[in-house]
Amino acid sequence: MPKLFISELKANIEIASLFVASDKQLKTARNGTTYLDLKLADKTGEVSGKMWEKGSDASVLFKSGDIVYLRARTELYKDRIQLNISEIMPVPAGAYDPADFLPVCPHDRDVLFENLNKLVAGMTDGHFRRLCQAVLVDPVIMTRFKLAPAAKSMHHAYIGGLLEHTVSVMTLVYRISNHYPALDRDQLLAGAFFHDIGKIEEFVYDTHIDYSDAGRLVGHMVLGTQIVDEVIRRLEGFPTESSLLLKHLILSHHGEAQFGAVKLPASREAFALHLADDLDAKMNAIDRIIANSSEDNGAWTGFETIFGRHFFRGFPKRENGAEETSNE
């Protein structure tokens, strides 16, 4: 059976295909009946699914993270496709192609890794450069670093997403430090290099992206400082002050406690890193929202709950290059 991808779904059609049941919950409807609420995913995105009848019976057949076969009808709910599921069952290993379910970085990861090496090689602070290079040649860390996603769903949520996001943030802080020469460029570059490195332990990713036990219990900022500590212990003469400043950048890069920051940014470099990280994450998320939005909505995307707004997709292209003119 050919795979029907989430990006191909249209409203009001009958479908039969395979998806990852990335999350499942039994919930109670207003009328008191129990239904199965699912998040279903493949490499092109995620869609919500509801099984209103026999949801309790179906729920025991599979667990979160399993590949499932389902029959459903697509519906439009709050500007989004939703699946009304009539049948669902687990699919045995070997009966599906894993490449159908994990999205992959749209950029060449070898090129990204080359750019990462160039940014590190250009650092003039010998201690920070030596620390970054010690990680670049660590086969265990780098194998995971090249594969890990940068998030479960919000931004760069695909294989290689962490590498792409890291290179992008390092490029941003390099340019920011040119504009604000009081900033310590190499400290910023090292902070950008390590700010999300804890995500190599925060996530698991086989058929879908999810948090590891360490990710849920500790989080990537603390995990990242532990990785830095372990590498620094192998380096002779690394300055204590540089270690403290770097770990502060990692622990504060989310900016506010309500967004997960362990500490508030307390230096110019920490504040600059937070803004660069936030900008890159949001731009990637908005790009994906626009790319995945339905053209049925015209110039605007559907309402995005996380951002609290619709996003402008652009005015429709006019035939023969004509542009709308105003008589005002």
Q: Architecture of 109-286 per CATH? A: Orthogonal Bundle (1.10)
Q: What is the CA radius of gyration of the chain?
A: 23
Tokens of 85: 């599921």
Confidence (pLDDT) at 322:
53
The mean pLDDT value of the chain amounts to 92
CB atoms within 10 A of CB 255: 18
Residue pLDDT, tens place only, 203-239: 998 888 889 999 999 999 999 999 999 999 999 999 9
Which segment of 66-80, 95-109, 140-154, 290-304 scores lowest on mean pLDDT?
290-304
Looking at the whole model, is its pTM more than 0.85? no
Residue spans in the chain of domains classed CATH 2.40.50.140: 6-97
Residue spans in the chain of domains classed CATH 1.10.3210: 109-286
Residue pLDDT, tens place only, 143-192: 999 999 999 988 999 999 999 999 999 999 999 999 999 999 999 999 99
Fold observed for domain 6-97: OB fold (Dihydrolipoamide Acetyltransferase, E2P) (2.40.50)
Choose among 232, 230, 255: nearest CA to 242: 232
CB 235 within 8 A of CB 130: yes
Confidence (pLDDT) at 113:
97
Confidence (pLDDT) at 248:
98
CB 88 within 8 A of CB 51: yes
